[in-house]
C-alpha cells in the first residue's frame, strides 16, 4: 500500500471505532468501494447532506479544530432531528492541505468522534483528497418509523408556532469570535452555542412520536429566513409576536436581542407548529429545554411581526450564502 491518502484514511478509520465492519448494522465499512447498511424493517431512511467549508462556514485561524469536528456533524444531524428521526450513520468527504494532516486532523477527529458518540451516529465511509483549504461535506443517514416523519408542509391555519431553547446565542457567539484575536478557546462559555451546537434529537423524536408537531424544521439560517420556508411548504403565512421571542441573555439591549432572535443563524433549535387541540397538552419545557409559543399560522403569504398593536412585514434577514454581505 502507498500514498498519503491511504495514511489519512487509516487515521480517520482508527479514530472511529464504530465504523468497523461487523458493527451493529454494518457488513462493510470504510475501505471498501461503498458502505453496506441494513435498514430496519418498518422504517423510512432519512438522508441529508451539508457543506462545512473553510471561509464560508468556519475560519481556520479562529475556530478550534475540535469545534470544527463537532459542529460539522452536529449541524448535519440537526436535519434528522427536524424530521423527528433517529441518527444511524454518516459519510464524511474531507479535503485538506497536507500540512493539516497531523495535529489539526487529530483535534478535528477528536471533536468529530465525541459528536459521533453523543449523537449516536457512526462513521460509515467517506472520500478524502488534498486541497489548499479545508472542505467538509457530510451525509447523515437516519431512520424513522414509517408515517411518523414531521415534514415542513404540515402547518395549518390556526396552528401555534413554537421554538425550542433561545434564539440568537449562536450569532452573538459569532460576533464575539470575530472581535477576538486569533484562535478562540474551546472552553469559552459565551461561545459554546456557536462552537458546539446541540441538535435537538430527543425533542424532535418526542414531538414526532407524540404527534404534537404538525410541521417542523430546524433553525439554521435564522427565524426570518427559515419560517418563510416552512410557510411556503405548507401554503400558509404566519404572524410572529415580537414580545414573546425567547431571546439570548447575552444581548446588549432589547433591540439587539430581538434582532439576534429574528435574524441570527446557526442556533439549530427546532421550529414547529402545533394544532390548537394539542396546544394545551404541550408542556412549557421538555427535559429542561424551554418550548416557547412565538406566534400563529395565518392565511395568506406574508410573514408579519406583531409588536404591541403594530404589525409589520418580516423580511428574511438571516444567512443566505448568495446574498453579498
**298-317 positions binding its own copies, by CB under 8 A:** 315-316
The Cα–Cα gap between 262 and 260 comes to 6
**6-45 positions binding its own copies, by CB under 8 A:** 6-8, 27-28, 31-39, 41, 43-45
The Cα–Cα gap between 222 and 65 comes to 25
The answer to whether residue 265 forms part of the interface with its own copies (CB under 8 A) is no
From residue 101 to residue 120, what is the string marking binding to its own copies with x (rule CB under 8 A)? Answer: x-------------------
The Cα–Cα gap between 64 and 66 comes to 5
Contact range with its own copies by CB under 8 A, out of 1-9, 249-257, 279-287, 305-313: 1-9
Out of 22, 178, 313, 322, which residue is the one contacting its own copies (CB under 8 A)?
322
Tell me the closest approach of the beta carbon of residue 310 to its own copies, in angstroms: 22
Tell me the closest approach of the beta carbon of residue 113 to its own copies, in angstroms: 19
Out of 14, 17, 24, 146, which residue is the one contacting its own copies (CB under 8 A)?
146
The answer to whether residue 139 forms part of the interface with its own copies (CB under 8 A) is yes
Long-range contacts of 108-111 (CB under 8 A, 24+ apart): 108/65, 108/66, 108/68, 108/69, 109/11, 109/12, 109/15, 109/16, 109/69, 110/15, 110/66, 110/69, 111/64, 111/65, 111/66, 111/67, 111/68, 111/69, 111/70, 111/71
**162-191 positions binding its own copies, by CB under 8 A:** none
- Classify burial at 198, counting beta carbons within 10 Å of its beta carbon; exposed 0-12, middle 13-18, buried 19 or more: buried
The answer to whether residue 83 forms part of the interface with its own copies (CB under 8 A) is yes
Amino acid at each position: 500500500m502507498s500514498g498519503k491518502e491511504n495514511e489519512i484514511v487509516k487515521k480517520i478509520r482508527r479514530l472511529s471505532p464504530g465504523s468497523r465492519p461487523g458493527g451493529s448494522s454494518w457488513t462493510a465499512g470504510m475501505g471498501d468501494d461503498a458502505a453496506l447498511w441494513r435498514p430496519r424493517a418498518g422504517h423510512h431512511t432519512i438522508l441529508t447532506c451539508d457543506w462545512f467549508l473553510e471561509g464560508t462556514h468556519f475560519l481556520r485561524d479562529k475556530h478550534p479544530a475540535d469545534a470544527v469536528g463537532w459542529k460539522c456533524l452536529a449541524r448535519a444531524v440537526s436535519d434528522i432531528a427536524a424530521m423527528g428521526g433517529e441518527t444511524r450513520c454518516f459519510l464524511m468527504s474531507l479535503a485538506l492541505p497536507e500540512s493539516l494532516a497531523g495535529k489539526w486532523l487529530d483535534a478535528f477527529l477528536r471533536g468529530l468522534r465525541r459528536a459521533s458518540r453523543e449523537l449516536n451516529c457512526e462513521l460509515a465511509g467517506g472520500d478524502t483528497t488534498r486541497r489548499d483549504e479545508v472542505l467538509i461535506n457530510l451525509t447523515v443517514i437516519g431512520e424513522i418509523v414509517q408515517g411518523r416523519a414531521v415534514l415542513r408542509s404540515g402547518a395549518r391555519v390556526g396552528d401555534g408556532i413554537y421554538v425550542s431553547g433561545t434564539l440568537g446565542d449562536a450569532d452573538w457567539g459569532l460576533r464575539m469570535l470575530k472581535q477576538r484575536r486569533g484562535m478562540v478557546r474551546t472552553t469559552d462559555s459565551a461561545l459554546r452555542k456557536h462552537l458546539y451546537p446541540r441538535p435537538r434529537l430527543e425533542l424532535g423524536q418526542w414531538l414526532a412520536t407524540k404527534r404534537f408537531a404538525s410541521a417542523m424544521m430546524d433553525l439554521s439560517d435564522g427565524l426570518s429566513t427559515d419560517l418563510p420556508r416552512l410557510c411556503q411548504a405548507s401554503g400558509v403565512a404566519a404572524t410572529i409576536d415580537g414580545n414573546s421571542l425567547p431571546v439570548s441573555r447575552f444581548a446588549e439591549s432589547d433591540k439587539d436581542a430581538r434582532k439576534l432572535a429574528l435574524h441570527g443563524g446557526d442556533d439549530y433549535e427546532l421550529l414547529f407548529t402545533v394544532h390548537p387541540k394539542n396546544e394545551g397538552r404541550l408542556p412549557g419545557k421538555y427535559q429542561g429545554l424551554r418550548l416557547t409559543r412565538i406566534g400563529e399560522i395565518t392565511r395568506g403569504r406574508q410573514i408579519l411581526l406583531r409588536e404591541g398593536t403594530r404589525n409589520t412585514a418580516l423580511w428574511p434577514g438571516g444567512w443566505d450564502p448568495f446574498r453579498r454581505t
